[in-house]
């Protein structure tokens, strides 16, 4: 087994590892340096340990027969309080490129599907008074009014959901339901909420080419919310990545768990000592949706001492912090979004020469989720530049 580790130290420390026998080496912005200090050694040792464990997780996945059983991201499921469902859906129509393609309800629940060709879909739902298996992971200091609000599930395609479930049950994976949810067009199942992230991983096997999410027993209705006809929304494209905040002590377990449930690999981690923050990236391939985990370097002690990431978890629990949308003409688009009432946590950061420009919105009052808008230049496939990552992390301290 061959690994390569590159260490880069500027304001932050960037570590990149690669399983050369499987994945090609990815480009890293920056220069190699031989300069070392104690912090770098500690972080470097942590990365070495994580990449070794991640490689073993991939070997275990391979040995279990899971290779090729999980595809790319199909959709994400976002739950809201009942009163927030329509405002949350309208807000996503107003501030992203996705359009409402489906609506359905049954006795307690109601759902809207937002789609865009080439992007994972967003399924926005409310459960009404039905039991919520995510209630326990939603509880935190500032979530009393949002007991049902969360991005709950990342749903990946599979060519054979029954085989996936059989193998994963033997490996001890717990699912939310004993049986598959079967409809005319798909079979679906999802895991129980993770003890490390609070997120669930869903698997969907499509039976044909029709992408209809209406479950068996639900009534499909004509969507009653329409998308505003704003031209600048054409600049906002696919769901590029999502970032989940996890406790410092759970970082490794959260990443390994995700690798064991999907066909993703661990790509790299960025340590930002000044913000007590590590941003870790898992990917399937360069063009695919990326899963980002953000954690503290050291566990929470107090709001003042622990930095914005660990403080966020105290306030809101472990959960998805932001969804990032690939955006063209980002300056003009952000200016127009601002005129349409969108508020941002900071100004646009980054530049052409750094490979990307990006910005965080204020968190939604209906979903608690931040929208990131990200524009990449010249095929840059990273998620931040060395100058941006500190400012972005610092800005989230306002939440
Ligand atoms: Fe991001």
Interval between CA 372 and ligand 1 midpoint (Å): 6
Interval between CA 243 and ligand 1 midpoint (Å): 6
Interval between CA 324 and ligand 1 midpoint (Å): 6
Name the nearest CA neighbour of 268 among 245, 249, 243, 293: 293
pTM of the full structure: 0.90
C-alpha–C-alpha distance, residues 246 and 256, integer Å: 13
Interval between CA 228 and ligand 1 midpoint (Å): 26
What pLDDT is attached to residue 209? 95
Give the CATH number of domain 3-63+233-398: 3.10.180.10
Interval between CA 315 and ligand 1 midpoint (Å): 20
Question: CATH topology of 3-63+233-398 equal to that of 73-228?
Answer: yes
Q: Give the environment of ion ligand 1: residues with CB less than 5 A.
A: 243, 324, 372
What pLDDT is attached to residue 390? 83
C-alpha–C-alpha distance, residues 186 and 18, integer Å: 35
What pLDDT is attached to residue 381? 85
Interval between CA 163 and ligand 1 midpoint (Å): 33
C-alpha–C-alpha distance, residues 396 and 399, integer Å: 6
Interval between CA 131 and ligand 1 midpoint (Å): 32
Interval between CA 34 and ligand 1 midpoint (Å): 29
Interval between CA 21 and ligand 1 midpoint (Å): 28
The yes or no reply on domain 73-228 and CATH 3.30.479.30 is no
C-alpha–C-alpha distance, residues 14 and 223, integer Å: 45
DSSP-derived 3-state class of residue 382: coil
What pLDDT is attached to residue 68? 95
Interval between CA 281 and ligand 1 midpoint (Å): 10
What pLDDT is attached to residue 40? 57
- Domain range summary for the chain, segments of one domain joined by +: 3-63+233-398, 73-228
Residue with tokens 């391939």: 285
What pLDDT is attached to residue 39? 60
Interval between CA 162 and ligand 1 midpoint (Å): 33
What pLDDT is attached to residue 284? 95
Interval between CA 123 and ligand 1 midpoint (Å): 20
Exposure of 347 by Cβ count < 10 A (0-12 exposed, 13-18 middle, 19+ buried)?
exposed
3-state secondary structure 100-139: EEEEEECCCCEEEEEECCCCCEEEEEECCCCCCCCHHHHC
pLDDT mean for each 10 residues of the chain (399 residues): 30 37 32 45 88 97 97 98 97 98 92 98 95 96 97 98 98 97 97 98 97 95 94 98 97 98 96 91 93 95 91 96 97 97 96 94 98 93 82 85
Name the nearest CA neighbour of 7 among 253, 256, 271, 255: 271
What pLDDT is attached to residue 32? 33
C-alpha–C-alpha distance, residues 357 and 375, integer Å: 5
Name the nearest CA neighbour of 371 among 339, 341, 326: 326
Q: Are 183 and 207 in contact (CB under 8 A)?
A: no
Interval between CA 397 and ligand 1 midpoint (Å): 15
């Amino acid at each position: 087994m061959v690994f390569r580790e590159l260490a880069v130290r500027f304001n932050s420390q960037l570590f990149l590892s690669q399983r050369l026998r499987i994945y090609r080496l990815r480009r890293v912005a920056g220069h190699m340096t031989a300069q070392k200090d104690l912090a770098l050694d500690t972080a470097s040792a942590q990365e070495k340990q994580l990449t070794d464990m991640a490689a073993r997780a991939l070997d275990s996945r391979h040995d279990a027969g899971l290779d090729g059983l999980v595809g790319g991201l199909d959709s994400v499921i976002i739950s809201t309080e009942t009163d927030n469902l329509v405002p949350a859906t309208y807000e996503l129509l107003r501030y992203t490129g996705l359009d409402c393609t489906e609506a359905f309800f049954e006795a307690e629940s109601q759902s809207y599907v937002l789609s865009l060709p080439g992007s994972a879909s967003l399924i926005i739902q409310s459960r009404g008074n039905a039991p919520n298996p995510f209630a326990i992971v939603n509880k935190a200091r500032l979530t009393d009014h949002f007991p049902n609000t969360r991005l709950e599930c990342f749903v990946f395609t599979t060519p054979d959901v029954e085989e996936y479930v059989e193998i994963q049950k033997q490996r001890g994976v717990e699912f939310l339901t004993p049986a598959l949810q079967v409809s005319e067009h798909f079979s679906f199942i999802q895991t129980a909420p993770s003890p490390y992230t609070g997120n669930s991983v869903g698997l969907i096997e499509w039976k044909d080419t029709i992408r209809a999410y209406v479950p068996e027993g639900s009534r499909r209705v004509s969507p009653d919310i329409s998308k505003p006809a704003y031209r600048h929304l054409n600049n906002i494209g696919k769901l590029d990545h999502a970032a989940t905040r996890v406790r410092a002590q759970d970082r490794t377990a959260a990443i390994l768990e995700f690798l064991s449930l999907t066909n993703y690999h661990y790509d790299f981690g960025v340590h930002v000592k000044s913000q007590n923050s590590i941003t870790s990236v898992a990917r399937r391939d360069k063009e695919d949706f990326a899963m980002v985990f953000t954690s503290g370097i050291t566990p929470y002690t107090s709001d003042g001492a622990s930095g914005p990431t660990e403080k966020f978890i105290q306030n809101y629990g472990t959960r998805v912090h932001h969804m990032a949308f690939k955006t063209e003409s980002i300056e003009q688009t952000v200016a127009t979004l601002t005129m349409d009432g969108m508020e941002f946590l900071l100004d646009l950061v980054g530049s052409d020469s750094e490979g990307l420009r990006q910005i965080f919105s204020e968190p939604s009052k209906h979903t608690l989720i931040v929208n990131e808008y990200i524009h990449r230049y010249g095929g840059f496939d990273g998620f931040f530049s060395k100058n941006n990552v500190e400012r972005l992390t610092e800005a989230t301290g306002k939440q």
